[in-house]
C-alpha cells in the first residue's frame, strides 16, 4: 500500500472559498499551532510509551540474571536472622558482617534453586504462571523437610 499523508483532524476550515489574507493562516490558527507544538515538547505533554505485555518483566529478568549482587536488602535480612536466632535459642547472639553475608548468600541461592525447580514444575503442567502448588511440589521432590 502506498504511503499517504494523514489528514489533520479538527483543522477543517469553515469557509469554502475566497481569497486568503495574511499568507493563508489567521492568527488564531497560528497561536493554536504554537501551543500544540509547545505541548508536544513539554514533558507532561509527551505520549507515554506503551510496551507489549511481559516486555518489562523480561527486561527485569535479564537485568537480574546479569547482576551478581544480592537481591534481598541487607538490613532487613540481618534483622530477620537475629530475630530467628533469638526465637530458636532464647538469647541474643552477635553476628559478624561476614557471617550474615554468608547466610544471606546461601539463603538466596536456596530460594533461587527452589524457584527454578518450581518453574520447571509449572512448565511440566503446561502452564506459564508459577503457582504455590509448584513450589510445594519442588520442595517435596527435593526432600526439604515440612511441605
Task: With a cut of 70, say whether residue 117 has pLDDT above it.
Answer: yes
Task: Check residue 8 and give its pLDDT.
Answer: 65
pLDDT band, very low/low/confident/very high, at 17 (cuts 50, 70, 90)? low
Domain boundaries defined on the chain:
55-142
SS3 content of the chain, % helix, strand, coil (to 5): 60, 0, 40
Whether this model's pTM surpasses 0.85:
no
Options 1.10.357.10, 1.10.20.10, 2.40.160.40, 1.20.1370.10; CATH of 55-142: 1.10.20.10
Burial class (CB in 10 A: 0-12, 13-18, 19+), 13: exposed
Cell 499551532 identifies what position? 33
Report the chain's mean pLDDT, rounded to a whole number: 83
Amino acid at each position: 500500500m502506498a504511503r499517504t499523508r494523514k489528514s489533520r483532524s479538527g483543522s477543517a476550515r469553515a469557509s469554502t472559498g475566497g481569497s486568503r489574507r495574511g499568507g493563508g493562516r489567521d492568527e488564531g490558527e497560528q497561536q493554536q499551532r504554537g501551543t500544540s507544538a509547545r505541548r508536544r515538547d513539554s514533558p507532561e505533554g509527551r505520549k507515554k510509551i506503551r510496551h507489549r505485555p511481559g516486555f518489562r518483566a523480561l527486561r527485569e529478568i535479564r537485568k537480574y540474571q546479569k547482576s551478581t549482587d544480592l537481591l534481598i536488602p541487607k538490613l532487613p535480612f540481618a534483622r530477620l536472622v537475629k530475630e530467628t536466632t533469638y526465637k530458636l535459642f532464647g538469647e541474643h547472639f552477635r553476628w559478624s558482617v561476614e557471617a550474615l553475608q554468608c547466610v544471606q548468600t546461601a539463603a538466596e541461592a536456596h530460594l533461587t534453586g527452589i524457584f527454578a525447580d518450581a518453574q520447571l514444575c509449572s512448565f511440566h503442567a503446561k502452564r506459564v504462571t508459577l503457582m504455590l502448588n509448584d513450589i510445594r511440589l519442588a520442595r517435596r521432590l527435593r526432600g526439604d523437610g515440612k511441605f
